[in-house]
Amino acid sequence: MQFADRLNQVETSAIRELFKLLGKPGIISFAGGFPDSALFDVSGIRAAANQVLTDTPGAALQYGATEGYGPLREQLAGLMRARGTAELAAGQLIVTTGSQQALDLIGKTMINPGDCVIVEGPTFLATIQCFRLYGAELVSAPIDANGVDTDQLEALMAKHRPKLVYLIPSFGNPSGATLSLERRRRVLELAVKYQTLVVEDDPYGEVYFDAPPPLSLLALSASVPGSRDLLAHCGSLSKVLSPGLRIGWLVAPAELLAHATMCKQFSDAHTSTFAQSTAAAYLAAGHLPAALARVRQVYAERAQAMADALRRELGAAVTFTQPRGGLFFWLRLTGAGGASTDAAALARRAIEQGVAFVPGSPFFAQAPDGATLRLSFATVGLADIDEGVRRLARALAAV
Amino acid sequence: MQFADRLNQVETSAIRELFKLLGKPGIISFAGGFPDSALFDVSGIRAAANQVLTDTPGAALQYGATEGYGPLREQLAGLMRARGTAELAAGQLIVTTGSQQALDLIGKTMINPGDCVIVEGPTFLATIQCFRLYGAELVSAPIDANGVDTDQLEALMAKHRPKLVYLIPSFGNPSGATLSLERRRRVLELAVKYQTLVVEDDPYGEVYFDAPPPLSLLALSASVPGSRDLLAHCGSLSKVLSPGLRIGWLVAPAELLAHATMCKQFSDAHTSTFAQSTAAAYLAAGHLPAALARVRQVYAERAQAMADALRRELGAAVTFTQPRGGLFFWLRLTGAGGASTDAAALARRAIEQGVAFVPGSPFFAQAPDGATLRLSFATVGLADIDEGVRRLARALAAV
């Protein structure tokens, strides 16, 4: 059978191979990118599901509008307004099957084979693959602790004239980095200067530990004339409520949103109305703030425990910026004391020691840094975080 | 903003414009393609949802495997075995977000811009658009009361050497036609002869009125050597249980299924585990046969009422084959007695008379037949079917 040429753009994930090893008994896994199931507000979701099956079973189980279930669009617009995007109307967003589908629709709507797309180096692996399937040529813009380096971003925009720039400004996956307020404004100015679409992926912005991150690009666009017309924003309930509902959303300029809706019609018709109406009832019941407060507190404790353990057990062997939200630590092996800087080799050795993580190279669309690695604390209890980091130190000593 | 060239392949749907008129009060609508919400087994679905949120909330609300939720894949494989596909294993299918996504994944996996795809004339509108978004050049194979004309299909396959052939063999949308057993075997032989993938879309096969349709192409492939390796089969719970769950599935040869899974990973990561686990629990509880029996009985009555009314009210002005399953009547205006044969003009006039239907032209990828139209009886009660057809007769007299 002759498959489509676009499949040649995507390699089988190195991470997928690693995940096959995770079944080993007793492994402490920092490899996942999942929220902790124990934090799901199951009773709130159950109440919401029962409510919609009692009050509006037709709407919950029937076909629905491709744009999304009206009451959910209203709730999500309300969330966005509460997060600083004044006057966002429900009609300015569509519901997607997870924010992954928002990315897919952007790719389908925007990208011609050969188009350049600028992403952060490192960035979300599934975005790299998703855009490559539409034929995008990806260019990496370097990041530091304050997110993407906007001077280098501008140089790359001037050189490559990309179709779009994709950023995860708050607590990025895998970097954990947060784009500073000053750089956020600069990104919006660059969008206007180069008349280039910026895609803001924001699944983690509400998962902060002490204080909220700077306003989203979407919220800030009100203060940078012309930028709102060049901004797409992807949101998600996956990290704050439940990934299994598969509720994401896309805010975008009207014409882009209309095209994305048309593409969605022929991708999956619409997102599950059962899940959408349940999410709408849950949000309407006002349960989210309490659930989010718990998520923030638990993850803050785990992140602090991981930071402490890393400093204590690994010391000068790694550098990292302590994340202030999200699910991830991004480490770089320094080679101090003659230790290895090969994160892929370390990953294999770590499995032998009973701890798993993801080496960083696959997260780079260009110029992979083989000394980097990603750790997630999200699903690991405090004692296991300590023990896992100790095992990591043993693995590093043994490489 | 410069959008992707692929958007130019798709026109805005003429049907969509028509649907805007449906809000008129008192309209009897034969225009929809929806099942009747009143037939949903709400209590069975509620019980299933509560069960999974009690027994397996982690699985129901967490991320899941891209291939689908294991227990649901087992249940769906069991359904397929019960429908005649012996020895189908759960690993030979993936769960999709509605069967629409199965079509999208086939398009993404198989179609290069410029590839020829043969479809029935008429065929499912969203398939036409879905495949065109991947750059397919569609060719229509004519159908009659026994489904696609396999002699003409072979001639088209020989001439165009298509990438794939897409068929809805049982109670097709919009045709209502059912491919005969003899032709089903012939289609499988043609797949082998021309080494061409055949995609069998089967959302309606279980919605039969008196007797089941002939065995599916998938089931029959066991008796045509080599054909199983060239057959993809799309299934759906939308017409038999609930469209809002968005549960479809794809059975395909191993390599195609692996590529489709990879594409799905970057399309929506996975189908809602909340919806999947609820569907799995529903099927495991054994509720489907009773729900299906009710669906079959109600639709059979409505289809008979519509056939009777059409013969009584429209007489020689239309021809049609009475469907033996599914949701649709496909009519052709004969022009008898000097009446109009312009179904689009009739559709506008019918709205004025208080009845809606969909003109047939958009369902043709090539050579539209402007005298055709589609009526659905699925959501209309018996008295309204009579009255709606009377209005249709008045509209035809007035054109």
Nearest to B273 by CA among A107, A32, A287, A278: A278
Least confident window among A4-18, A167-181, A271-285: A4-18
pLDDT for position A18: 62
Which element (helix H / strand E) includes A150?
Answer: helix A150-160
From B4, B46, B272, residue closest to A108, measured CB to CB: B4
Instruction: Summarize the confidence of residues A369-381 as an average pLDDT.
Output: 97
- Residue pair B202/B234 in contact (Cβ under 8 Å)? The answer is yes
Residue A95: both structure tokens together:
């519901």
- pLDDT (tens digit per residue) in B338-385: 889 999 999 999 999 999 999 999 999 999 999 999 999 999 999 999
Q: Is A163 on the interface with B (CB under 8 A)?
A: yes
Whether the per-residue pLDDT at B261 is higher than 80: the answer is: yes
Whole-number percent of chain A with pLDDT over 90: 93
pLDDT for position A47: 98
**CB within 8 Å: B40 and A57:** yes
Q: Is B170 on the interface with A (CB under 8 A)?
A: no
ipTM, two decimals, is: 0.96
Whole-number percent of chain B with pLDDT over 70: 97
- pLDDT (tens digit per residue) in A220-266: 999 999 999 999 999 999 999 999 999 999 999 999 999 999 999 99
Q: Phi first, then psi: give them for residue B336, nearest 5 degrees.
A: -60, 140
- Chain B's closest residue to A64, CA to CA, is B244
Residue B223: both structure tokens together:
């008796």
| Chain A residues near residue B266 by CB distance under 8 angstroms | 10, 100, 103-104, 126, 129-130, 133
- Residue pair A149/A143 in contact (Cβ under 8 Å)? The answer is yes
Optimal mutation site among B61, B66, B138, B287, interface A, most CBs of chain A within 10 A: B61
Nearest to A143 by CA among A165, A125, A167: A167
Task: Report how far apart the first and last C-alpha atoms of chain A are (Å, whole number).
Answer: 44
pLDDT for position B23: 66
Alpha-carbon gap, residue B350 to A51, rounded angstroms: 39
pLDDT for position B70: 97
Count of other CB atoms within 10 angstroms of residue A83: 17
Residue numbers of A between 97 and 116 with CB closer than 8 Å to B: 97-98, 100-101, 103-104, 108-112
Query: Chain A closest CA to B275's CA: distance in Å?
Result: 7
Instruction: Summarize the confidence of residues B219-231 as an average pLDDT.
Output: 97
Alpha-carbon Rg for chain B, nearest whole angstrom, is 21
Report CA A198 to chain centroid distance, whole Å: 15
Whether the per-residue pLDDT at A360 is higher than 80: the answer is: yes
pLDDT for position A11: 74
Instruction: Summarize the confidence of residues B110-117 as an average pLDDT.
Output: 98
Whether the per-residue pLDDT at A19 is higher than 80: the answer is: no
Specify the long-range contacts of residues A15-21, CB closer than 8 Å, at least 24 apart: A15/A125, A15/A358, A15/A362, A18/A347, A18/A356, A18/A358, A18/A359, A21/A351, A21/A356
Whether the per-residue pLDDT at B11 is higher than 90: the answer is: no
- pLDDT (tens digit per residue) in A71-81: 999 999 999 99
Q: Is residue A57 reached through a cis peptide bond, with omega within 30 degrees of 0 on the bond before it?
A: no
Order the strands of the A328-333 sheet from edge to edge. A318-319, A328-333, A372-376, A358-359
- pLDDT (tens digit per residue) in A274-296: 999 999 999 999 999 999 999 99
Where residue B398 falls among pLDDT bands split at 50, 70, 90? confident
- pLDDT (tens digit per residue) in B74-109: 999 999 999 999 889 999 999 999 999 999 999 999
Count of other CB atoms within 10 angstroms of residue B102: 29
Residue numbers of B between 332 and 351 with CB closer than 8 Å to A: none
pLDDT for position A23: 66
Where residue A186 falls among pLDDT bands split at 50, 70, 90? very high
Phi-psi region of A249 (alpha: psi -120 to 50; beta: other; left: phi over 0): beta
Q: What angle do CA B281, B282, B286 make, to 5 degrees?
A: 110
